[in-house]
Amino acid sequence: MEDKIKIHVLNTGYVEVDEALAFKDKSYNPIAYTGLFRSNKHKVKVPVFSYLIEHPKGNVLVDTGWSVASREDYKSHLPLKGYIASKPILPSGENIAEQLDKLGIDKLQFLILTHMHVDHVDGIRDVQDRAEFILVSRDELKAANKGGGRYIKELWKDTIFDRFDWNGEMGPYFKSYDVFRDGKINLIYLPGHTAGSTGVLIKNNGKFVLITGDAAYAHASWENLELPGIINDKVRTLRCLKWIQKLSKADNCVEILASHDPEVKPHIIEI
């Protein structure tokens, strides 16, 4: 048996959103996902997950969750568009740096961003000095640097990114990137939610785990092919969900992890 890979599923706070943000069909109102003119009965609190992967060649962090600054005063830290549809909630001890400290992790070989929306990148300044490389797809960084929507460029103005281009042929669009060049951690092109959204496929000892980012919000996303409220491309989103659905039925699938699934609790997976 090969060396095991350990995956820590870390709850890095919560986000309060309208139910239509995660599942478009919750309302016929095309802007329901923003929460504007919607009563509190439509509000839900969902987790924000980050993932620490312990690979034999180094530690890998996927996404960062909310920053300490958002806990202290999110209205001063973020512009209105950063919290109008997604209110940050960060309990004490749940910031990603606090959790890495608790685990005794002071060095990361890679920090990977599935995409650059505020709830996935806000904590980057809290941990970027620990990372040797900060990986984001060239497609996503290009889209993010144009600004607009849920992209807030000020959050990464001091960050040096390591852009990557797809060098493999895995996933629904046959675009992937082998992080350690050993086939164990592959970044998968999962566009639709954003132009350059990325999933993370961890393979070891004949088994696999998939981190979807926001290509899927919860189990219902791929089980019922339910589209989210925020979509960059409907056709691509659906194609990615069908691919995730197919993977979820494979005998060697250990778990599919969506970044905001309320059914998931913090836990550790070993494969």
Alpha helices in 122-264 (DSSP H): 124-127, 138-145, 219-223, 234-248
pLDDT at 37: 41
pLDDT at 25: 54
CA atoms within 13 A on the CB side of 61: 31
pLDDT at 32: 45
- Per residue in 219-248, pLDDT (tens digit) is 999 999 998 877 889 999 999 999 999 999
CATH number of 6-270: 3.60.15.10
At residue 28 the predicted structure's pLDDT band, cuts being 50, 70 and 90, is very low
Say whether pLDDT at 180 is over 50. yes
| C-beta separation of 260 from 218 below 8 A | yes
CA torsion, points 58, 62, 67, 71, in degrees to nearest 10?
Answer: -120
Q: Which amino acid is at 36?
A: L
- Per residue in 106-118, pLDDT (tens digit) is 999 999 999 999 9
Extents of the domains making up the chain? 6-270
The CA distance from 42 to 196, in Å, is 29
- Per residue in 53-99, pLDDT (tens digit) is 999 999 999 999 999 999 999 999 999 988 888 899 999 999 999 99
Q: Single out the residue of 196, 194, 174 nearest to residue 186, CA to CA.
A: 174
Percentage of residues in the chain with pLDDT exceeding 70? 91
The CA distance from 246 to 201, in Å, is 14
Higher pLDDT, 38 or 224: 224
The CA distance from 253 to 248, in Å, is 6
Say whether pLDDT at 185 is over 90. yes
Q: Single out the residue of 217, 155, 153 nearest to residue 21, CA to CA.
A: 217
pLDDT at 26: 55
Say whether pLDDT at 42 is over 90. no
At residue 23 the predicted structure's pLDDT band, cuts being 50, 70 and 90, is low
Lowest-pLDDT range of 37-46, 231-240, 258-267: 37-46
Cβ neighbours of residue 140 under 8 Å, at least 6 residues apart?
Answer: 113, 115, 116, 194, 195, 196, 197, 198
The b/e string for 33-67 (b: 16+ C-beta within 10 A; e otherwise) is bbbeebeeebebebbbbbbbbbbeeebbbbbbbbb
User: Which sign does the torsion angle of CA 226, 228, 234, 235 carry?
Assistant: negative
Task: Count the residues in the chain.
Answer: 271
Q: Single out the residue of 205, 164, 168, 200 nearest to residue 185, CA to CA.
A: 200
